[in-house]
Amino acid sequence: MTAKGTQSGARPTPPRDDASSGRYTPPIPKAVKVSPPWVPVLMFALLGIGCVMIMLNYLEILPGAASNWYLVGGLAFILGGIATATQFR
């Protein structure tokens, strides 16, 4: 037997609004972390100084002859830029 108002036991479907998709959406965090403006400036400065130091070493423009210490210093600046990039949010 079927109840009044339904057809052969089918349930009525609730009305759907367009905003809900039926998928889980995690809540928005209350405290969104934002980097200070000096973080990307420092990152690009360190990367740039490291690249320029390595190029100037190969062009032998830096004081003294071409030295491995200039290469190590340039790579240290580049590594510092990469480490700063991991802190950017």
Instruction: For residue 79, give its domain range.
Output: 38-85
Specify if 22 maps to a domain: no
Specify if 13 maps to a domain: no
- The answer to pTM > 0.85 is no
pLDDT (0 to 100) of residue 89 = 84
pLDDT (0 to 100) of residue 37 = 92
How far is it, in rounded angstroms, from Cα 83 to Cα 73? Answer: 15
How far is it, in rounded angstroms, from Cα 27 to Cα 71? Answer: 48
Structure tokens that stand for 7 in this block: 């057809």
pLDDT (0 to 100) of residue 15 = 60
Specify if 32 maps to a domain: no
Mean pLDDT per block of 10 residues along the chain (89 residues) reads: 58 61 82 89 97 95 90 97 93
- Per the structure, the count of domains in the chain is 1
pLDDT (0 to 100) of residue 29 = 81
Specify if 56 maps to a domain: yes
Specify if 9 maps to a domain: no
pLDDT (0 to 100) of residue 32 = 79
Specify if 14 maps to a domain: no
Specify if 79 maps to a domain: yes
pLDDT (0 to 100) of residue 25 = 87
Specify if 16 maps to a domain: no
- List, in order, residues 6 or more apart from 82 with CB less than 8 Å away: 47
